Amino acid sequence: MTSIIPVPVPVSSELEKSISSFSPSIANFLNEVGLPTENILSSVDQRKKVIFALAEALSILPIEEREKATYLTKFTVAIAVGLFDGALNYLWDETISSLRRLAAKFDLEYFFSIAEKVSSRNKNLSTTDDLDRVDDHDLLETCRRIGLINDVNYKRLDNVNFMRNHASAAHPNENEIDGYEMLAWLSNCLRYAIMAEPNHDVISINKLLTNVRTEIIPTDDFPIIGAEIEKLPQERVDDLLWTMFGMYTDIKQIPNVKSNIGGIATYVWNVSSNDRKYEIGSRYGVFRKNAEITRKDAAQEFLQIVDGQSYKDEDSLAGELIDKLGILKSVHFEFNNFYNEYPHAKSLEDSLPSNGTIPRAARSMWVRVLCICYAGNGHGYKDGVDEGALPYYIKYINGFSESEIIEFLRLMSDAEFTAAFSRSKVDKRVRKLANHLKTKTENIHIKRALDIIIDAPVGVLDSISGASNFQNSMKYIPKLS
């Protein structure tokens, strides 16, 4: 293989990292204008590790796809020069572009419906151009939720996103990247994003929603469709219910579509979680408070169809609280979260009921977001936690009842929550949180499950939900209503 690394003669490791090793004339110019030239580039040895493996790594990418992958060209040039932090940024740009193209091929209304559930900042999006407005973490999480990437690959890509935020040229940092790390990230991005294919679930849901919008579905087909929906994973069922509810309450919706949804809705509702049912019920109160009469009436019709009026919340703060929690979570996953979470954490107080009891519709998300933010992202001396927001997180967590503690245990199977557990600081904070929650319950079965988290070996906490002892302990945990 012809060398593309511009180092013609053996040089010391210090010189390899100097601009002089790449271009003496550029180094001279930088010296003239007073800019640094030393310890700028990655060593030749590290560059070779990536360059020599690049052809094999790219072999899985069809030629016609390579011809469009401009960011991968920039990635390769940056590697050859020795600017690994810039290369990582280009690799991530190509990854995000690929995921956006993948999302655009499928049901955009469905995608944006789930993106809104991930964060309320993603409301009122509808076109392919709007995909650029969904931030990187929300894009990843939405792709996971709808099945474009699975839980394991989500964690792989989330780690690349984390490193892009904390070790690339995208943001100021002093972290170094070696060749083996870069190869691993290149492989993960190629295999699990740039070459990603949707699983069977998302294809089936895409076909179903297309038929709901364009066909008049025979009544006899509803039970058959319902039987197929029962086979979907719980998260996929819940998100389908949310999407269908959104379609039904759309003020521009046509009668045929509402009729199709009405025929399917009961089957979806019956296999959905109580968490999602209460969230649906809370929207009635939101529409009522905002004087959205048409949508309020449509929500009432939908709840009557599915016999879900007991979940209706007439005048609740739940919807407002859910929206704020979604924004806080998005801020947490952005760069410099430990400076930006405070105002959002503080504002949650304004949306709490006077009795301090979290509305049932918001309880699951309340626990999820607070635990994610308390655990932090594991970066920096602040543990990735906003120290200004931390007193609020502690205050809210101190208010957890037994129901909230059970929600915490359920989070151990949540891919978004466990994605950062491989970082030692996050691991320690999650165990610390479990220890604290243990003091707030007398239920022996809950204590036993918390002990399993506390005593788990280092490095396995992100997969604790699959451990037989944890699964057995969860069988005796009280069911949440």
268-283 residue pLDDT tens: 999 999 999 999 999 9
Q: What is the pLDDT of residues 303-353, one digit of tens each?
A: 999 999 999 887 667 888 999 999 999 999 887 777 889 999 999 998 888
Do residue 76 and residue 207 come from a single domain? no
Do residue 152 and residue 245 come from a single domain? no
Name the one residue in this structure whose structure tokens are 């949540």: 414
Q: Report which of residues 24 and 410 the model is more confident about.
A: 410
What would the mean pLDDT of 385-398 be, rounded to a whole number?
Answer: 95
Q: In terms of C-beta density within 10 A (0-12 exposed, 13-18 middle, 19 or more buried), how is residue 159 classed? A: middle
Q: Give the contacts of 117 (CB within 8 A, at least 6 positions apart).
A: 145, 239, 242, 326
Do residue 174 and residue 211 come from a single domain? no
Do residue 174 and residue 217 come from a single domain? no
What would the mean pLDDT of 439-454 be, rounded to a whole number?
Answer: 96
In this structure, is residue 322 part of a structural domain? Answer: no
Mean pLDDT rounded to a whole number for the chain: 89
What is the pLDDT, as a whole number, of residue 9?
39
Angle of CA points 360, 366, 368, to nearest 5°: 120
467: pLDDT strictly greater than 50: yes
What is the pLDDT, as a whole number, of residue 466?
93
List, in sequence order, every beta strand (DSSP E) within 98-228.
none
239: pLDDT strictly greater than 90: yes
In this structure, is residue 50 part of a structural domain? Answer: yes
pLDDT level of residue 4 (50, 70, 90 thresholds):
low
In this structure, is residue 402 part of a structural domain? Answer: yes
In this structure, is residue 35 part of a structural domain? Answer: no
CA dist., res. 109 & res. 243, Å (int): 8
Contact status, residue 362 vs residue 325, Cβ threshold 8 Å: yes
Q: How many C-beta atoms surround the C-beta of residue 58 within 10 A?
A: 17
In this structure, is residue 360 part of a structural domain? Answer: yes
The greatest distance separating any two alpha carbons of the chain, rounded to the nearest whole angstrom, comes to: 80
Do residue 181 and residue 204 come from a single domain? no
What is the pLDDT, as a whole number, of residue 170?
59
Contact status, residue 378 vs residue 421, Cβ threshold 8 Å: no
Question: What's the DSSP call for residue 83?
Answer: -
Element (H, E) at 394: helix 390-398
Do residue 52 and residue 149 come from a single domain? yes
Do residue 187 and residue 223 come from a single domain? no
Q: What is the pLDDT of residues 121-162, one digit of tens each?
A: 999 999 999 999 999 999 999 999 998 999 999 999 999 998
What is the pLDDT, as a whole number, of residue 471?
95
Do residue 180 and residue 207 come from a single domain? no
CA dist., res. 409 & res. 73, Å (int): 45
Of 194, 221, 250, the last residue of a domain is: 194
What would the mean pLDDT of 405-423 be, rounded to a whole number?
Answer: 94
Q: What is the pLDDT of residues 89-109, one digit of tens each?
A: 999 999 999 999 999 988 899
The structure's pTM equals 0.81
In this structure, is residue 2 part of a structural domain? Answer: no
How many domains are there within the chain?
Answer: 3
Q: What is the pLDDT of residues 61-76, one digit of tens each?
A: 888 888 888 999 999 9
In this structure, is residue 8 part of a structural domain? Answer: no
Do residue 278 and residue 334 come from a single domain? no
pLDDT level of residue 15 (50, 70, 90 thresholds):
very low
Of 194, 216, 234, the last residue of a domain is: 194
In this structure, is residue 284 part of a structural domain? Answer: yes
Please give the share of the chain, as a percent, with pLDDT higher than 90.
62
Domain that holds residue 216: 200-311
Do residue 384 and residue 444 come from a single domain? yes
Do residue 167 and residue 81 come from a single domain? yes
Of 157, 173, 194, the last residue of a domain is: 194
181: pLDDT strictly greater than 80: yes
What is the pLDDT, as a whole number, of residue 52?
86
pLDDT level of residue 173 (50, 70, 90 thresholds):
low
Do residue 218 and residue 257 come from a single domain? yes
pLDDT level of residue 17 (50, 70, 90 thresholds):
low
